[in-house]
Amino acid sequence: MPAADSFICRERRLTITLFVVGALLALSGVGSLMLGAVYIQPFDAIRGLAPGGEDFDRLVVWQIRTPRFFDAMLVGAALSTAGALLQSVTRNPLADPTILGISASSGLVIAIVLVLSGNPSDTQLALAGIGGGLVGAATILYIAWGGVVSPLRLTLAGVALAAFFSAAIVALLASSRTFLEINLGFLVGGLYGSEWREVRAIAPWILPALVGAQLLSGRLNVLALGDDIAASLGVLTDRTRVMTLALVGVLTGTAVSVAGLVSFVGLVSPHLARYAVGSDQRRMLPASMLIGALLVATADLAARVVLQPSELPMGILTAAIGAPFLLYLLKVRI
């Protein structure tokens, strides 16, 4: 890169990226309000956003589609940020909460709570997910301590963890009299039945965690130089790693508690963000967050529309985008 690729130029790339992704996200939002099993005219969709009234447009737009869009954005932002933090802290381009088994360990604790309690509240589910996410993140931390594990070894360890936890989830749900149809949405990931209740339960966890990730971004930049250099620059490497993985656990756990095991969002978004704005965490994290929100919101819109009035689990669509992307990374980048 020429020297002219200055700080200002990179700042401009961030602005442009945020603007473009933000505009696409707004477009996806408008689409999410208008499209679905029933088509709602743009004007009626806007009217549905205005408070008052219990008519059809208001019910569908405000009680069904708006909370679902917010859920999708929160889940996307959480998973993509979790993926970006993981890729950074493990120095592993293949890191992702699903691939490393953190989603599955969240899912396992959620499944245990579901089976034991029958009808847990959204907050209880979010807490269960966070608990499971922290366990999964701690396991990865243990395996990858010091950041010297090769990417493929860490990935394979994650695959083993994910397979183990997923098998435990299936075993638990299969032996528990809950209907198989319900489980599919959880195992593949989907947002059917999102309500404001859920948004209110997860936002208080996800939003502060997203801010926390931004605050850590400077230290993560230093950590990327290697432990010795980071230590010599005054960064407490171990503490940074622990805090980062704790954030990963919180973000992944809350996302899984509403959307189930949505895969690949945390893998794809950070790579796209890095491509757009470079690898400086301070710019990469916000871009990745917005790209993740766009990805999940759009995948969820498609999931609702393609089979209407039935719907696909949204996770199928993120996997359809993410799996080829992983193959591309394995072939070209690793």
Partner 1 sequence: MLLVAGAVLVGACTSDDDGVDATAAPIDAPAAATATSEATAAATDTPAPTAETTEVPAFPRTVTDMLGREVVIESVPLKVVAISPSAVEYVYAVGGEIVGRSASVAYPAAAAQAEDVGSAYQPSIESILALEPDLIVADSVIHGSQPQLRATIEGLPVPVIFAGAESYDDVLVGITLLGEVYDAADVAAALIKEIEAALVAARAALEGTEVSAVALIADRDQSLYGAKSSSFVGGLMERVGILNPAAYQPDAGPFPGYTLLAPELLLQYDPTLIFTITPAPEPAPRLNTLIPQIPPFRGLSAVTSERVIELDLEVFLQAPGPRVLDALNALREIVAE
Query: Which spans of this chain sit near partner 1 (rule: CB under 8 A)?
Result: 36-38, 54, 56, 59-60, 64-65, 118-119, 173-182, 185, 192-193, 195, 308-311
Query: Which residue, among 74, 76, 71, 61, has the nearest Cα to 30 in the 3D structure?
Result: 61
CB of 250: closest distance to partner 1 in angstroms? 23
CB of 43: closest distance to partner 1 in angstroms? 17
- CB nearer to partner 1: pick between 178 and 221: 178
- CB nearer to partner 1: pick between 259 and 291: 259
CB of 119: closest distance to partner 1 in angstroms? 4
C-alpha distances (whole Å) from 124 to each of 57, 137, 184, 200 are 32, 20, 21, 13
- CB nearer to partner 1: pick between 52 and 146: 52
- CB nearer to partner 1: pick between 60 and 243: 60
CA 34, CA 157: separation in Å to the nearest integer?
Answer: 43
- CB nearer to partner 1: pick between 122 and 227: 122
CB of 297: closest distance to partner 1 in angstroms? 17
CB of 190: closest distance to partner 1 in angstroms? 9
Contact between 309 and 74 (Cβ < 8 Å): no
DSSP secondary structure string, 130-172?
HHHHHHHHHHHHHHTGGG-S-HHHHHHHHHHHHHHHHHHHHHH
Query: Which residue, among 231, 275, 285, 264, has the nearest Cα to 13 in the 3D structure?
Result: 275
CA 135, CA 147: separation in Å to the nearest integer?
Answer: 18
- CB nearer to partner 1: pick between 125 and 296: 125
Instruction: Show the tokens assigned to 203.
Output: 């936002």
For residue 27, the 8-state DSSP code is H
CB of 23: closest distance to partner 1 in angstroms? 26
H/E element, 325: helix 314-328
